[in-house]
Amino acid sequence: MGQLWVTTSKRFGSGRRNMASKAEKIVAGLGGIENIEEVEGCITRLRTEVVDASKVDEAALKAAGAHGVVKMGSAIQVVIGTDADPIAAEIEDMM
């Protein structure tokens, strides 16, 4: 019998390139990779901890596709929808 491969993650093929591109834009909006201490995908949000919250550019995050941004001191949540987990994985790969 032949082999059957099923891929459900958007991290493969052109979907992965799109996730990587979106992740790069989100990183820029968060003040650059050096400003990100921690990132975690949580269903529809990226939960991040940043070094300097004043470097976070909410307009850039929204231009990158964020539906909203919640700031609580150095804790930043970026509401991006169901792509949160694969985008978090892309950002972790950059760190």
Residues annotated as catalytic are 42
Q: Per-residue b/e over 3-24, b at no fewer than 16 CB within 10 Å? A: eeeeeeebbeeeeeeebbebbe
Instruction: Kindly tell me the sign of the dihedral angle through the C-alpha atoms of 78, 80, 85, 91.
Output: negative
What's the order of all strands across the beta sheet hosting 36-42? 36-42, 45-50, 75-79, 68-72
Do 44 and 79 form a contact (C-beta atoms < 8 A)?
yes
